[in-house]
Structure 1
Amino acid sequence: MTRKLISIVTPCYNEEANIDELCQRINDVMSKLDYDYEHVFIDNCSTDGSIPKLRAIAAQDKRVKIILNARNFGHIRSPYHALLQVKGDACVLIASDLQDPPEMIEEFVKKWEAGFKTVLAVKPESEESPVMFFLRKTYYRFVSRISEVPLVQNATGAGLFDRAVLDILKKVDDPYPYFRGLLCEIGFPIATVPFKQPRRQRGITKNNFYTLYDIAMLGITNHSKVPLRLMVMGGGLLALVSLLMAFCFFVAKIIFWDSFQMGIAPLLISLFFFSSVQILFLGMLGEYIGSVHTQVRNMPLVVEAERVNFD
């Protein structure tokens, strides 16, 4: 009887120091399981020695496959593209920085064998900066509350996805997806595997303020209309308050014509306040328009420069 195939996808960008250990630990885990496996690296145009190292590993082990991107397409599009290329009965997505321990794959598979089509790693604890961990938890709690579907809080993105889930994702045809949100929108029950995220041991994180802001806004604009509704209600409320304040000032001036002086300070304060609110609303509206623009352009997720060990 032919054994089932599990595809393992690892997005990679300048992770030369972690590749060898990652491959070895995944091989050790998969040797304990009664499944065949393929390990697909998708490299986002690394500038260090990652690509030569991947080529050397792939030359020795045909189960290791490589997709080389023509340029850096970002941390959102690249792994999603790789997920859609695999042929396994299930696919495991795991980062190359070793902060999602490969040993979790065994727990993922157990949940899959129990009937779950989607399994996600969640980190209720982390050795990262306490400030960053607090901000992440606060964000996920906020997005989950305003989202049209409940999201899995503290999910890292690592997990296992059944072939049925991957086939649905292929039909979605989203050029800039919020992957964790899509998994929840599909609707299959989601199992979670909690773990304490270790601190990165080698290399430096590729996330910065812009990339974190990008994925944060993507989660909001792709899965919630609440900010747009709040802008409408907030604008109406501010207009009502302004009208009431104007009426009060008018009455005060009529009653105390000679002694009441409104002064320049209230005018300046209200001018700056309403101007900042308008800029905030326009910026939020721009995020939604930008999301629509991305969908309308319908560009490919990535452009591949080369594939290695693919049939």
Structure 2
Amino acid sequence: MDKREGVKLLKLISIVSPCYNEQDNVEQLYLRTRDTLAEFPLLRYEHIFIDNASTDNTVPILRRLAAQDQNVKVIVNARNFGHLRSPQHAILEAHGDAVAMLLSDLQDPPELIGDMIREWERGTLVVVAIKNTSDESGLMYGIRTLYYRAVAALTNVRVFEHFTGFGLYDRTVIDIIRSRFRDPYPYFRGMIAEIGLPYKAIYYNQKRRERGITKNNFYTLYDLAMLGITNLSKVPLRLVTFTGFMLAVLSALIGTGYLFAKILFWNRFDIGVAPVVVGLFFFGSVQLVALGVIGEYIGSIHSMVQNRPLVIERERINFTDEPQV
């Protein structure tokens, strides 16, 4: 076997790092990831940064890193396609025998990828990183815990609690995602749960963001929460139907009670306006909530039937092939 044949046998690890306005973090992320992968001389690696049309110096920094290191590959999107579509596109562009997701804010430690690779080399197809502690506020961590447990109660799919997508996935998993999931607005962590292959959980403490500002706001968190529920469960729709039925029965019973009370106590019983007003506001609120739940599912269907591409690329660096479809 010559040297070139030996190189061909080396397995490739792909690291995918989505970023948006992370000029203070991307170089540190690259250096720490490179040092971690240096512990595995028998593996090749590529570090794919996909930039969501940053408005700061993130892209120039990535261009410089890519010029210095051919292992660094960069995709620059034409615009900001959001925090769900952009990472999914990069995952599908990765060629590795295993693909790791690593965000660019440095709240998740790049050094943990070494432990993931060792577990993968032992034959584990899915290695998920679970934050069992966090430096964020206790209130926010508690709210997240309640959300994950609510989703788990609404579905029969095993949900990974406090799993953000940080992990390493065998090529088998990536091929399943490519061939079976054609979602233009993908929920990656839900896909991993839905596939259901054997996995290994690695636990860690998630640090606070040290540099830059978070891109998460109420809308993005709400969007992610609703996407998780609508992708994994139909229970909310069934609850709407059940609630409507129960309220209809309750309304019939209350109406019948008022009728008999008026007949029996005609001169003394006064229905009054207040119960009618309160009832109208109550049932109106229930209807709005029901319409909102139904609307979330219709919105998911709308995104699906549009069948838009995940992203449109403006530029790619150090790639030798065209974007995959």
TM-score w.r.t. the length of structure 1 is: 0.99
What is the root-mean-square deviation of aligned Cα atoms in Å?
0.8
Query: Aligned runs of 1:85-164 on 2, under 5 Å?
Result: 85-164=93-172
Q: Are positions 1:307 and 2:307 aligned together? A: no
Q: Are positions 1:185 and 2:194 aligned together? A: yes
2:25 paired residue among 14, 18, 24: 18
Per-residue CA deviation, residues 53-95 of structure 1 (Å, 9 max, x unaligned), is 0001100001000000000000011001100001110011000
1:188 CA drift (Å): 0.5
Per-residue CA deviation, residues 10-60 of structure 1 (Å, 9 max, x unaligned), is 001000001111111001100011311000000000000000000011000
Q: Are positions 1:81 and 2:85 aligned together? A: no
1:3 CA drift (Å): 1.3
1:238 CA drift (Å): 0.5
Whole-angstrom CA distance in 2 between matches of 1:199 and 1:287: 31
Counterpart in the other structure of 1:63: 71
2:39 paired residue among 21, 32, 44: 32
Whole-angstrom CA distance in 1 between matches of 2:282 and 2:267: 29
Counterpart in the other structure of 1:268: 277
1:148 CA drift (Å): 3.5
Q: Which runs of 5+ in 2 are unaligned?
A: 1-5, 321-325
Secondary structure (helix, strand or coil) at the match of 1:236 reads helix
Whole-angstrom CA distance in 2 between matches of 1:308 and 1:159: 25
Q: Are positions 1:208 and 2:217 aligned together? A: yes
Whole-angstrom CA distance in 1 between matches of 2:253 and 2:119: 59
Whole-angstrom CA distance in 2 between matches of 1:199 and 1:271: 47
Whole-angstrom CA distance in 2 between matches of 1:189 and 1:210: 33
Secondary structure (helix, strand or coil) at the match of 1:16 reads coil
